Amino acid sequence: MDMDTIAAISTPMGEGAIAIVRLSGPDSISIAASIFQGKNLKEVESHTIHYGFIIDPDVNKKIEEVMVSVLKAPKTFTREDVVEINCHGGIVSVNRVLQLVLNQGARLAEPGEFTKRAFLNGRIDLSQAEAVMDLIRAKTNRAMNVAIGQMEGRLSQLIRSLRQIIIETLAHIEVNIDYPEYDDVEEMTHKLLKEKSIHIKGEINKLLETSKQGKILRDGLSTVIIGRPNVGKSSLLNSLVHENKAIVTDIPGTTRDVIEEYVNVRGVPLRLVDTAGIRETEDIVEKIGVERSQQVLKEADLILLVLNNAEPLTEEDIKLFTVVEGMDVIVIINKSDLPAKISIDGVKKLANKNPIISISIKEEEGIDQLEEAISSLFFKGQIDAKDITYVSNTRHIALLNQAKKAIDDVLIAIDEGVPIDIVQIDLIRTWEILGEIIGDSVHESLINQLFSQFCLGK
């Protein structure tokens, strides 16, 4: 498929030191050369950068002082000719350069189209392409390391390895079906097929075991702070964020909406939500906040339930424990610097097996223990992204669950003594589903691989 030449601003909009207009496609260099005053870009070496000016050819006027990088195919991100025009970072200047590029025949790129071309041109597979956006959106070093690992093809290699096992297994089946008289071909028995299927299922399960942690690293751990009004919920958010994001006063009911902030806790990105106090109220504005809080609760991964050390447990406190029953909860007893009036035994009974942390936000005590409790609750031990392939993409997780179901169907069919040629249908289905993860699941390629690995006419 012939590609046209696309262009876009590849840096965030706004004021900055540098902004980049990127072109990719067969006419990238000639388009850039037509508006560049400096060296002849058509004659320069690949992977070089050149100083000069962008000229408006209609009025022969300099409009921007730039550095232009020329990268010739195929050693580029898209495997096409790529030009990057480094401009001053003002909104007006970079837009003027982009407009000139478009006037010379380039087309404005669609969202993600540069990465799409890298995929279509075979430089990266689909899972690696998706990891590009994960890397951009990474909010902690751990999340970034997981994305880098996926960009490098760690997940792809594992998926390709599993598909290779399936291909080899299917090839043995095909040989036995089509050439049963060949004595030198290992007979494909139910026993061998079951052995291969159990191995594949085990590898899929290993990936799925990382999916909860991987998804948290990618999307953030949705964490809701709840508690009676004025127990210190907003102060806790401020302490975790390390800056004032929520309004803190001594007046109950100050937080009238849901305040959301990302927080890095021991490498785990928390999507931290400070809610309006969940209580009965006649205040219309506050009532809306309470209703939104209850909705946020239903979608939360973690609940931080805040109690007041300086007050006895109330019916409202007990009701909150009922609301979050069955969820992952960390119970926080705030204001430990004040004389204790709360019943610790009562809290332990209500908390069941959930962690209980005593803190004093005012005295900045106990926050480290809270952060450790959050990290250890979801990540037992240290995460080492170098050694583990984390699955973080929702699409990948869904496909892995489908593949697991298909391989389960294989195992059930084997146990029930279903003929091999029928069983292989579910095995092919597993192969195709895994292929969807990396964007390589064309049925014709199955035939090609079968013949390339086994010379059936030997």
Name the amino acid, one letter, at 159.
I
**CA-to-CA distance for 240 and 364, rounded, in angstroms?**
11
Q: How confident is the model at residue 431 (pLDDT cuts 50, 70, 90)?
A: very high
Closest to 280 (Cα-Cα) out of 318, 329, 228, 233: 228
pLDDT of residue 58: 87
pLDDT of residue 124: 84
What are the b/e assignments for 11-45, b being 16+ CB within 10 Å?
Answer: beeeeeeebbbbbbbebbbebbbbbbebeebeebe
- CATH of residue 416's domain is 1.20.120.430
End position of a domain, from candidates 102, 120, 138: 120
**CA-to-CA distance for 362 and 357, rounded, in angstroms?**
15
Residue 134 domain-assigned?
Answer: no
**Which stretches of 26-79 are assigned E, i.e. beta strand?**
36-37, 48-56, 61-71
Q: Tell me if 393 sits within 8 A of 211, measured CB to CB.
A: no
The pLDDT tens digits of the residues spanning 359-404 come to 998 888 888 888 888 888 777 644 444 445 778 788 889 999 999 9
Q: Which residue has the higher pLDDT, 269 or 335?
A: 335
Shared domain for 229 and 293, answered yes or no, is: yes
Shared domain for 113 and 249, answered yes or no, is: no
Residue whose structure tokens are 């035939």: 447
Residue 130 domain-assigned?
Answer: no
Shared domain for 233 and 314, answered yes or no, is: yes
DSSP string for residues in 143-196: HHHHHHHHHTTHHHHHHHHHHHHHHHHHHHHHHHHH-TT-TTSPP--HHHHHHH
The pLDDT tens digits of the residues spanning 46-80 come to 999 999 999 999 888 999 999 999 999 999 999 99
Shared domain for 38 and 158, answered yes or no, is: no
Residue whose structure tokens are 């969940």: 278
- CATH of residue 373's domain is 3.40.50.300
Shared domain for 260 and 198, answered yes or no, is: no
Residue 142 domain-assigned?
Answer: no
Looking from the CA of 258 toward its CB, the CA atoms found within 13 Å total: 20
**CA-to-CA distance for 317 and 194, rounded, in angstroms?**
54
Shared domain for 204 and 109, answered yes or no, is: no
Q: Which residue has the higher pLDDT, 245 or 98?
A: 98
Closest to 134 (Cα-Cα) out of 435, 382, 391: 391
Lowest mean pLDDT among 155-164, 227-236, 242-251, 435-444: 242-251
**CA-to-CA distance for 11 and 28, rounded, in angstroms?**
18
**Mean pLDDT value of segment 323-335:** 88
Q: Which residue has the higher pLDDT, 408 or 125?
A: 408
pLDDT of residue 273: 66
Closest to 440 (Cα-Cα) out of 162, 197, 172: 162
**Mean pLDDT value of segment 424-442:** 85
Quote the mean pLDDT of the chain: 80
pLDDT of residue 394: 81
Q: Quick one: DSSP state of residue 402?
A: H
The pLDDT tens digits of the residues spanning 150-173 come to 777 888 999 999 999 999 888 877
Q: How confident is the model at residue 199 (pLDDT cuts 50, 70, 90)?
A: very high
Residue 370 domain-assigned?
Answer: yes
Residue 416 domain-assigned?
Answer: yes
Shared domain for 411 and 372, answered yes or no, is: no
Lowest mean pLDDT among 70-84, 165-179, 283-297: 283-297
**Mean pLDDT value of segment 96-100:** 94
Shared domain for 248 and 352, answered yes or no, is: yes
118's CB contacts (< 8 A; 6+ apart) are: 77, 78, 79, 124, 129
| Strand pairing report for 18-24 and 356-358 | unpaired
Q: Tell me if 438 sits within 8 A of 163, measured CB to CB.
A: no
Q: Tell me if 237 sits within 8 A of 245, measured CB to CB.
A: yes
Question: Whole-angstrom distance between the N-terminal and C-terminal Cα of the chain?
Answer: 37
> CA-CA distances (angstroms) from residue 292 to 41, 278, 332?
57, 10, 22
Question: What is the value of pTM for the model shown?
Answer: 0.66
Residue 395 tokens read as 């699409």
What is the number of other CB atoms lying within 10 angstroms of the CB of residue 392? 24
Residue whose structure tokens are 């380039």: 106
Q: What range defines the domain where residue 337 resides?
A: 221-378
**CA-to-CA distance for 19 and 13, rounded, in angstroms?**
8
Count of residues making up the chain: 458
Name the amino acid, one letter, at 152.
E
Domain count, the chain: 3
Residue 89 domain-assigned?
Answer: yes
What is the number of other CB atoms lying within 10 angstroms of the CB of residue 287? 15
Strand order from edge to edge, sheet including 82-88? 36-37, 48-56, 61-71, 82-88, 18-24, 6-9, 107-108
Shared domain for 267 and 297, answered yes or no, is: yes
pLDDT of residue 106: 95
pLDDT of residue 181: 58
Whether the predicted pLDDT of 127 surpasses 50 = yes
Name the H helices within 19-153: 28-34, 91-103, 113-120, 126-137, 141-151
Residue 149 domain-assigned?
Answer: no
Whether the predicted pLDDT of 450 surpasses 80 = no
- CATH of residue 102's domain is 3.30.1360.120
Shared domain for 255 and 319, answered yes or no, is: yes
Shared domain for 205 and 343, answered yes or no, is: no
Q: Tell me if 370 sits within 8 A of 330, measured CB to CB.
A: yes
Residue 252 tokens read as 């109950």
Measured on CA atoms in the order 180, 182, 183, 186, is the torsion positive or negative? negative
Shared domain for 401 and 374, answered yes or no, is: no
Residue 296 domain-assigned?
Answer: yes
The pLDDT tens digits of the residues spanning 250-280 come to 444 433 344 556 777 777 778 776 554 444 4
> CA-CA distances (angstroms) from residue 23 to 89, 167, 332, 433?
17, 40, 53, 35
Percent of the chain with pLDDT over 70: 80
Residue 264 tokens read as 């890095």
Q: How confident is the model at residue 196 (pLDDT cuts 50, 70, 90)?
A: very high
Angle subtended by helix axes 126-137 and 394-415, to nearest 10: 140
**CA-to-CA distance for 43 and 6, rounded, in angstroms?**
21
Closest to 234 (Cα-Cα) out of 253, 212, 208: 253
